[in-house]
């Protein structure tokens, strides 16, 4: 049923720390790897080794330049995947019931056998979290690694989403936002976690931790434009110097 649940028992999701993300794309690569080899249909690519590569990914890393009024620009790497919104517009537009939000943990999923590939859910999502699989012709999206987090066979430490498991700079965190004592809830409270495009009223579960303020240089450094004084050369170099001067 593509009506949204009024509340969900848990609200599982991610915290993404824009301060520590180094933009290595390891989370996206591990996401692709896991979701290509795991239970559901693979995440397909077209012309994977050719000049016009294209394919379905569930996680994409953008890089932005942010320029303050009074300081040099800074670079922010920006991983983006499904935000598992409380008011997910991608769910209610689905005509078949393929797109749904689970009442038990709030994860937004697509039942691939029910998907007709109309693409309307991708139109309804402001974040670009859904991509059509070019081979299966069904909509693909982040499952929050539902096949890892509830696994009974994987080692305990691997029962977290692949992107979180692989992040080398601990920029990604997974947990239940309904539990105020969870790591993710505390991180959001301490660091002032934010929603992306709040004006779309999707109420995302995933939160982003803004970059910490940059330290600014105390005083302006001496101008690099002023040439340093050049020591006077003698001998052969002195002759060369004088000769070149004469050439104008």
Q: Which residues here bind another protein, judged by CB under 8 A? A: 1-4, 18, 25, 28, 52-57, 60-69, 71, 73-76, 78, 80, 89, 91-98, 114-120, 122-128, 131-132, 134, 136-138, 194-201, 208, 210-211
Shortest distance, position 119 Cβ to another protein, whole Å: 7
**CA atoms within 13 Å, Cβ hemisphere of 16:** 27
Residues 13/106, Cβ–Cβ less than 8 Å? yes
Shortest distance, position 165 Cβ to another protein, whole Å: 20
Nearer to another protein, 63 or 151 (CB): 63
Structure tokens at 116: 């007709």
CA dihedral 166, 170, 174, 177 (to 10 degrees): -170
Residues 124/136, Cβ–Cβ less than 8 Å? no
Nearer to another protein, 137 or 151 (CB): 137
Shortest distance, position 241 Cβ to another protein, whole Å: 44
In whole angstroms, give the CA distance from residue 52 to residue 46.
Answer: 8
Shortest distance, position 239 Cβ to another protein, whole Å: 50
In whole angstroms, give the CA distance from residue 198 to residue 210.
Answer: 15
Shortest distance, position 128 Cβ to another protein, whole Å: 4
Shortest distance, position 197 Cβ to another protein, whole Å: 5
**CA atoms within 13 Å, Cβ hemisphere of 175:** 17
DSSP letter, residue 103:
T
In whole angstroms, give the CA distance from residue 164 to residue 59.
Answer: 12
Shortest distance, position 194 Cβ to another protein, whole Å: 4
- Other CB atoms within 10 A of residue 173 CB: 22
DSSP letter, residue 232:
P
Give the residue from 166, 135, 161 showing the smallest Cα distance to 148. Answer: 161
């Amino acid at each position: 049923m593509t009506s949204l649940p009024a509340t969900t028992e848990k609200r599982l999701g991610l915290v993404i720390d824009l301060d520590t993300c180094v933009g290595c794309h390891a989370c996206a690569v591990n996401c692709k790897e896991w979701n290509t080899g795991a239970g559901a249909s693979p995440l397909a690519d077209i012309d994977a080794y050719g000049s016009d590569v294209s394919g379905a990914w569930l996680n994409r890393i953008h890089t932005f330049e942010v320029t303050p009024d009074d300081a040099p620009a800074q670079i922010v790497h920006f991983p983006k995947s499904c935000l598992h919104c409380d008011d997910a517009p991608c769910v209610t537009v689905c005509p078949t019931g393929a797109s749904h939000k689970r009442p038990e943990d709030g994860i937004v999923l697509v039942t691939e056998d029910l998907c007709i590939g109309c693409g309307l859910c991708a139109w309804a999502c402001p974040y670009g979290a859904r991509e059509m699989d070019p081979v299966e012709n069904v909509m693909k999206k982040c499952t929050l690694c539902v096949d890892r987090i509830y696994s009974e066979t994987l080692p305990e430490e691997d029962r977290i989403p692949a992107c979180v498991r692989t992040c080398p700079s601990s920029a990604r965190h997974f947990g239940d936002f309904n539990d105020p004592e969870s790591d993710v809830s505390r991180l959001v409270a301490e660091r002032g976690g934010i929603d992306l495009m709040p004006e779309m009223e999707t109420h995302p579960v995933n939160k982003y931790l803004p970059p910490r303020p940059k330290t600014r240089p105390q005083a302006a450094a001496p101008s690099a434009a002023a040439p340093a004084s050049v020591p006077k050369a003698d001998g052969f170099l002195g002759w060369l110097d004088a000769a070149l001067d004469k050439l104008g």
